[in-house]
Amino acid sequence: MLKRPWFRYTLYTLGGFLALLVLLWLGFAWYIHHNKARLLADISRQLEGSLNGKLTIADMEPALIESFPNISVQLQGVALSDSLGPVLHKPLIQAEAIYVRVNIFALLHKQVDIRQVTITNGQVYLFQDSTGYSNLYLIKPKHPGRPGVSKGNSPTIAKVELRNINFTFDNQEAHKLFDIDIQSFFGSMRYDKGSWTFSTSLHTLFHSFAFNTRNGSFLKDQTLEGTLNLHYDTAGHVLDIPEQRLKIGGQRVSLGLHFWLKEPAPHFDLQLNADDLPFSKAASWVSHNISRHFDTIYLQQPVNVQAHIQGSLLPNSQPKIQVKWQTQKNTLTVYGKDLTECSFNGIFDNERMKDSGFTDLNSSISAFNLKARYMNIPFSADTLQVINLIHPSIRAHFKSDFPLSDLNDATSGLFQFNNGTAKADMFYEGGFLPNDTTPPNMQGVVLINNAAFQYIPRQLSLHNSQVKLYFNGADLELHDMRLQSEKSILLMDGNAPNFLTLYFVNPSKISIDFNIRSSMLNANEFRGFLGKRKRTASKVVSQKARLKTVARLDAVLEACSVHLKASVDKFMYRRFNASNVKADLTLANDGIILSQGYMEHAGGTVSLKGRTFNKGDTDPFTIDAQVNKVKVDQFMDALNNFGLEDFTYKNVQGTFSAKAHLTGLLRDDGELVSSALNGSLSFSLINGALINVPMFKGISKFFPRRNLDNITFEDLQNNFTIHNGLVTIPPMHIATSAIVLDVKGQYALGKVKGTNVQLDVPIRNPKKDRDVADDTERRKRSRKGIVLHFNAVDGADGKVKLKLGKNDEAGNNIIDDEN
């Protein structure tokens, strides 16, 4: 038993009130059920009084559970359509059930006052077909004034709830399609002096939000949820959704939307802002005609985005779209190429030139205050713009200032930079797509100072080097170029016409022309250019874009040709030294072409032309040379004794002149392959001397009173032919101060076998005939008496051996007495 009377009285009161409420609720439910026909007619009449078209309601029942303790009725099978709806079009409104909460006291006075409408499992379908026919007139009020309120009896709906409703606005004439699933929607409406304000919480799914179906949909398959406030001005026909916080696809955004619906120029304005928005998600929110341009662009970290879309609601209209974004220290990937530490402000604008249309042709993607690294190379651009998204091209102003060692990743396998700096200031305009054939246009300069590096394919090391690269359109100019190796300094200027175009399209057509000046050129340091370029695998194996860049640069350096006009004060190669060198040569992909060469050497001059062919470990060559009045001992010393092993520069003196046409093979180290040498050699040697000739030691015993260690002669001439390293010596008469020699046969160069030289040496002393003026008579007299025959052949030890006698057809050694 309760001890507190006031508490007991309170329970009795509340119980009584609840019982009375239940009785009233049941009574009103009984009233609705027994007056269903009249109430259904009243509701239909009042709704039709504010709407055009045909409204049908299949049935009505009291909804006891749906709105307890309030009184609601359930309208079943509700549809609003025009007269052609069942034949040509869907109903404007179709719902499985509509719950209408009514004013209880109005019902007692036999009036219907609708306080809340809940629509479930239905569709709202607004359309305008390609002929211009539309069902929008069905929702226009029949009477002026507050929407949905006609004089005297129109309903005032304070709250609206939608559950599982599809909203479609299909304007086929204007190519607009808005298809939205409203999964939940609850809001309250306030009317005030010809306008209304609606506050709602909603959860929707956008299947299509297309202002132009030919361009695709915005927010396709994205959810929209949050609390939304709307304001509609009936006088100005303005629907205003002030900027407010919502979620799109789970991403927090700020959204503002305004519609001016008054004829003749209805239009809209949308503003969307989002912070920390993933770039891929932002791209998925815009229409396909925009997003397809971002298919090959990716930002690793989220960005801050502001989108502004505005345009006409009239048929065949295009909206103006501007999307801005900002990012700091991000990684931007464009066509597989990574820009790291990337910071910039970006803008997409589909009206680059005002009043020229909102089209791809007039669209642009711009980046301002760009700072980034590409393959570890830092650069900046105050403005970078991609224009004409049908055939996109890029315009940019780049600047960069960095140590050359930052290039090592980008040029791995080609260059290794140890010191120096690079500074660039470039304006660039050209194609944006990887396979674009638009000719590039570049204006600006790149300054390289104090460079120390290795060019790996040619095994060349340089230091204290510099160059100024000037880009003028597609052309490249190189000025104030200085290359310094350990023993050489080259001063160079050059140009490469149409370089940028051919770099991407046909690098084999690139030709770089250089003028070279040098006080000292040691060609031994450039020996790597004689052979084929060495290929070194790049260490950058994890990034395809870097590999492609290195491969492109490598392909260009291998395929292009370099034309050199050189003027060198002093020249050195192995043992060869020359001065006042003039050369016109081309370093081509398949070898070296020497068009013209001239030098002063060994007291005379040498002129030559020829070429080498890059074939592998050994490179074919051909050369035509003219030697004029050189000191033969110095000349032979410089040319490694012409490949002779038993007769060297120490064994001869005199003034040498020659013409030669030679072909053969060179090894990568510049050594001659003796067995592959072919050609012809015509020479003359005047005022000559033979000194300590090893071959003469074998015959000196036959001339005990004559000095064969130093014999002289006035003139010696002959025409040699060379085949596979064997020199054919036609019969040659040598009249010296001590003996007379008649020589013929073959001499093998280097390690080639096959030496077989016959020497006829008359015993008669040539001094006896020196007063004979006639050469023929003097030669005839020299062979009077005994003539010794010697045969020079290859010995077992690889050296030439001199044997007494000559080989006749029977193979017998013989000594002749020609008296």
Q: Report pTM.
A: 0.71
pLDDT greater than 90 at residue 597: yes
Q: Is the pLDDT confidence value at 102 over 60? A: yes
Q: Please give the Cα distance from 221 to 589 (Å, whole number).
A: 56
According to DSSP, residue 351 is labeled: -
Q: Which two tokens stand for residue 30?
A: 């009984």
pLDDT category at 579 given cuts 50, 70, 90 is very high
> Smallest Cα–Cα separation from 110: which of 121, 102, 118?
102
Element (H, E) at 403: strand 393-403
Distance, in Å, from the CA atom of 461 to the CA atom of 485, rounded to the nearest integer, reads: 6
Q: How far is residue 369's CA from residue 343's CA, in Å, rounded to a whole number? A: 8
**Between 139 and 128, residue with greater pLDDT:** 128
**pLDDT per position as a tens digit, 469-490:** 999 988 999 999 999 999 999 9
C-alpha pair distances (Å), 263 with each of 127, 178, 236, 267, 467: 18, 21, 10, 9, 67
Distance CA 207, CA 168 (A): 10
Strands 114-128 and 159-171 come out as: parallel
Report how far residue 432's alpha carbon sits from residue 468's, in angstroms, rounded to the nearest whole number.
Answer: 27
Q: 150 exposed, middle or buried (CB, 10 Å; 0-12, 13-18, 19+)?
A: middle
Q: Which span out of 7-16, 90-99, 153-162, 481-490 was modeled with the highest average pLDDT?
A: 481-490
Higher pLDDT, 113 or 353: 353
Joined tokens for residue 90: 């869907």
Q: Please, what is the end-to-end C-alpha distance for the chain in angstroms?
A: 174
d(CA 198, CA 158): 9
- C-alpha to C-alpha distance for 39 and 107, rounded to whole angstroms: 9
Give CA–CA dist 376/341, Å, rounded. Answer: 9
pLDDT at 26: 64
Using CA atoms, how far apart are residues 394 and 428, in angstroms rounded to an integer? Answer: 8
Strands 364-374 and 576-588: unpaired
Q: Residue 812: what pLDDT?
A: 42
Here the tokens at position 762 are 């008359």
What is the reported pLDDT for 104? 60
Which of 135-149, 682-696, 794-808 bottoms out in mean pLDDT, i.e. has the lowest?
135-149
Whole-number percent of the chain with pLDDT over 70 = 83
**Burial (0-12, 13-18, 19+ Cβ within 10 Å), 190:** exposed
d(CA 342, CA 328): 6
Residues 6+ apart with CB under 8 A from 676: 618, 664, 665, 724, 725
Instruction: Give the tens place of pLDDT for each residue, 111-128.
Output: 556 778 888 999 988 888
How much is the mean pLDDT over the chain? 82
How many DSSP H helices and E strands does the chain contain?
Answer: 11, 38
Instruction: Assign 3-class secondary structure to 491-549.
Output: EEEEEECCHHHHHHHCHHHCEEEEEEEEEEEEHHHHHHHHCCCCCCCCCCCCCHHHHHH
pLDDT, tens digit (0-9, with 9 covering 90-100), for 580-589: 999 999 988 7
DSSP classification of residue 575: T
Other Cβ atoms within 10 Å of 817 Cβ, number: 9
688: buried, middle or exposed (CB in 10 Å: 19+, 13-18, 0-12)?
A: buried
Q: Which of 230, 234, 256, 232 shows the shortest CA–CA distance to 243?
A: 256
Q: Is a pLDDT exceeding 90 seen at residue 432?
A: no
- Cα of 183 vs its chain's centroid, Å: 46
| Range of weakest confidence among 32-41, 181-190, 711-720 | 32-41
Instruction: Tell which wins on pLDDT, 769 or 664.
Output: 664
Q: Return the axis-axis angle of helices 36-50 and 5-34, rounded to nearest 10°.
A: 80
pLDDT, greater one: 819 or 304: 304
214 membership: H or E segment, kind and range: none
In one-letter notation, the amino acid at residue 196 is W
Q: Is the pLDDT of residue 661 over 90?
A: yes
pLDDT above 60 for 142: no
- pLDDT single digits (tens) 195-206: 888 888 999 999
| Token representation of residue 690 | 């033979």
Q: Identify which has the larger pLDDT, 275 or 644.
A: 275
- Assign 640 a pLDDT band (cuts: 50, 70, 90): confident
* Whole-number pLDDT of residue 619: 86
Q: Which of 479-488, 635-644, 734-743 is modeled with the greatest confidence? A: 479-488
Q: 353 exposed, middle or buried (CB, 10 Å; 0-12, 13-18, 19+)?
A: exposed
pLDDT at 25 (0 to 100): 60
**What is the pLDDT confidence band of residue 525, given thresholds at 50, 70 and 90?**
confident
- Name the pLDDT band for 48 (thresholds 50, 70, 90): low
Collapsed DSSP state (helix, strand, coil) of residue 692: coil
Is the pLDDT assigned to residue 818 strictly greater than 50? no
Maximum distance among all alpha carbons in the chain? 175
Closest Cα partner for 60 from 97, 94, 91?
97
pLDDT digits (tens, 9 = 90+) for 310-333: 988 887 788 898 999 999 999 988
Other CB atoms within a 10 A radius of the CB of residue 497 amount to 15
Statement: residue 815 has pLDDT above 70: no
Average pLDDT value for residue range 434-447: 83
pLDDT digits (tens, 9 = 90+) for 250-287: 999 999 999 898 888 889 999 999 999 998 888 888 88
Which band of pLDDT confidence, cut at 50, 70 and 90, is reported for residue 143? low
Most confident segment among 83-92, 102-111, 114-123: 114-123
What backbone phi and psi angles, to 5 degrees, belong to 6?
A: -65, -35
Is the CB of residue 219 less than 8 Å from the CB of residue 240? no
The yes-or-no verdict on residue 530 having pLDDT over 70 is no
pLDDT of residue 810: 36
Length of the chain (residues): 819
pLDDT at res. 589? 78
Report the alpha-carbon distance of residue 365 to residue 296 in Å, rounded: 13
4/662: higher pLDDT: 662
- What confidence tens digit (pLDDT) does each residue in 369-394 have? 999 998 888 999 999 998 888 888 88
**Band (147; pLDDT cuts 50, 70, 90):** very low
- Closest residue by Cα to residue 633 from 644, 649, 651: 649
Query: Helix or strand or coil: residue 29?
Result: helix
Distances 398 to 334, 349, 447, 504 between C-alpha atoms, Å: 17, 22, 14, 20
* Pairing verdict, β 726-735 and 475-484: unpaired
Give the three-state DSSP class for 613. coil
Residue 235 in this model has a pLDDT that exceeds 70: yes
Q: Is the pLDDT of residue 817 over 80?
A: no
The answer to whether 468 touches 479, Cβ cutoff 8 Å, is yes
Q: How far apart are CA 70 and CA 68, in angstroms?
A: 5
Instruction: Report residue 82's pLDDT band, with 50, 70 and 90 as the boundaries.
Output: confident
Residue 811: its pLDDT value, please? 40
Residue 709's H or E segment, with its range, is none
- Higher pLDDT among residues 204 and 59, named by residue: 204
- Are 802 and 695 contacting, i.e. CB atoms less than 8 angstroms apart? yes
How high is the pLDDT of residue 52?
A: 65
Rounded Cα gap, residues 254 and 245, in angstroms: 4
How far apart are alpha carbons 149 and 194 in whole angstroms? Answer: 10
Q: What is the DSSP letter of 116?
A: E
Q: Are the C-beta atoms of residues 687 and 714 closer than 8 Å to each other?
A: yes
**Which whole number is the average pLDDT over 45-56?**
66
Report which of residues 508 and 150 the model is more confident about: 508
Cα(71)–Cα(100) distance, integer angstroms: 9
pLDDT band at 356 (very low <50, low <70, confident <90, very high): confident
Tokens of 124: 């709202």
Q: Is the pLDDT of residue 545 over 70?
A: no
Please report the pLDDT score of residue 345 as a whole number: 95
What percentage of the chain carries pLDDT values higher than 90? 35
pLDDT above 90 (res 744): yes
